[in-house]
Structure 1
């Protein structure tokens, strides 16, 4: 039996994998909210000036989750003050759900927040 593996790595939000995952995240959230597919223009507008550039040390961190090397999900933490971080943009592509990645991604994001000095985490539910 082959063990499938998850990996999580800090990545700039502008890399091709991170940008595609952020777009898929926004598409998933917006399409469910509007009860219709989001348009390309709506997604472009939503990604412009969304503050994702703050998801890099020392103000935050963005992780790309990979399953067997394939980009499968993402998540970020953003410092709100000296000891509080916000959990944001947490997403797994539908094809990778149910494979144990969500809990592992959340645990890694909590570790990243602690590494940035956070003692508490709050959730951004949009």
Structure 2
């Protein structure tokens, strides 16, 4: 799964966005078939897929995927962690690209609070 996601990202870097999206669609379908519905391992290919959709200008679809990932991961883990915070960053980016700046500001502020909370509990320094 990780190798296929890396290949999709490489195709995207080469400018072959269509092939990248097709590969990511296949990866996400495979994840859905192999992993439990709330398995956090499903997140990475979907996040990559959302990024590719955003690159194509499909910000609404990409935002919806990221919001769903937040729900899935929180349901699976029961806590707010790095994965959820990074999904909030993606949602904020999608909202900014859609011109919804006030909502983007609120979502990005939440992401920052999550990261600060995670940092204070882990003792990490940025």
Question: TM-score scaled to structure 2, two decimals?
Answer: 0.33
Higher helix share: 2
Question: TM-score scaled to structure 1, two decimals?
Answer: 0.33
Higher strand share: 1
